[in-house]
Structure 1
């Protein structure tokens, strides 16, 4: 199996844990992503268990969600029964031409084959519509978070997952073309209340961790657990995990 496909298809086995432990998105970031959109119709693409859809609904958007993994889609439908949720992929969208005003992808755009998905997304967008990728990234400018990144390794915290590297890691995903104008980037403060155990559980839902052999995964999570237990910031009770919601936004021409 292609490595990208192996990673991208790993989440269904952990759909319940993903729904429980993954963070939502900063409302200010979602508002900024939607700001140029010509109307309220929004596609949440690669919607997972509905983390971004829930924020969009809270902001009054008319949401349709598309998700390829059946287990993730089932969690989304359970959590948000009022949202229209469809099976499909970025490369083959089950929507008519010009049927949405914005396409948002939460922690998902890096899984798309944009050579195929770009034209397909442009097809379903109304003229002037917005395409935006959002990523929740750890604030590794803070010492203990940077140390956690080193202990965890790329399987748990990769280059798209930190403030210091997300822009380079996502550059070119929305390429200026006949379909989209030059992309813009911005970052918005966010945070997630965690304790050591729930942070370990959160990192365990990363694709790189999910595809590990069980002994290797257990060893990696053990190292993370030991690190968190030895840091004053994380050893005792709840803490706020410092994050930002990062946004890459382009507009359909």
Structure 2
């Protein structure tokens, strides 16, 4: 993994409390589709963060184990979901035995993995016929004010996996490395499911502030960017006052181990 990617990935721990408060959960229909081909109910939430996907999985009734490398993020997950088995570890060294889960899911995390190492690890812990799926919450930039927000925010705040217009292209090759492992899995499938998050202008700014590009941005630039976003939201009738729904979708990339 390149050094700048490592810096971005390691930035979340300092904002773990804000991440837990402001980041959205995942559309239940997306989780159901991700698991549809799995042979059983044992699911690994890999790169689980503060448990946004974990909570949706628990609500769906499956047996979940969460694995997260950042101590601060893991502490938040354990605080909010104390009944879930939550382990320290990463995608490149999963602390589970061979063939121990029926599905490996990653919520807004698959793109952070070193897939040359993580791909074989995920294959190792999966049962035959098991599912590997990445899920991403993306803003629906088919909506005019959302498209405008993406333009005003800039790529550090709203990147190529954060809007519907770009996420399919940005994630299409993210599932497995081309090192022979691909032959052990079926063809990848992508699908999107309607989702939304109730926000105010202040809470949407706080949500955007938890994105990796914002967390590593120099303070002066960060303040200016958030100020620009706040001014844009104040200028739009959809977001200028009170609560509104941020139009989103949960996109899923799914493959099945043969």
Q: TM-score, normalised by structure 2?
A: 0.97
Preserved contact between residue 19 and residue 75 of structure 1 (Cα < 8 Å): yes
Tell me what 1:8 maps to.
9
The RMSD of aligned alpha carbons is 0.9
In 2, distance between residues paired with 1:159 and 1:85?
30
In 2, distance between residues paired with 1:75 and 1:148?
29
- Deviation of 1:181 after TM superposition, in Å, equals 1.2
Q: Which runs of 5+ in 2 are unaligned?
A: none
Please state if 1:39 is matched with 2:40.
yes
Preserved contact between residue 191 and residue 241 of structure 1 (Cα < 8 Å): yes
The Cα offsets for residues 2-61 of structure 1, whole Å up to 9 and x where unpaired, read as 000000000000000000000000000000000000000000000000000000000001
Tell me what 2:67 maps to.
66
The Cα offsets for residues 165-223 of structure 1, whole Å up to 9 and x where unpaired, read as 10100111124712211100000000000000000000000000000111110010000
Please state if 1:154 is matched with 2:159.
no
In 2, distance between residues paired with 1:212 and 1:187?
30
Tell me what 1:197 maps to.
202
In 1, distance between residues paired with 2:42 and 2:35?
10
In 2, distance between residues paired with 1:165 and 1:48?
23
Give the aligned length: 253
In 2, distance between residues paired with 1:178 and 1:169?
22
1:82-93 matches, within 5 Å, as 82-93=83-94
Please state if 1:166 is matched with 2:170.
no
In 2, distance between residues paired with 1:135 and 1:87?
22
In 2, distance between residues paired with 1:220 and 1:137?
20
Higher alpha-carbon deviation: 31-40 or 178-187: 178-187
Preserved contact between residue 99 and residue 124 of structure 2 (Cα < 8 Å): yes
Moved over 3 A (4+): none
Tell me what 2:99 maps to.
98
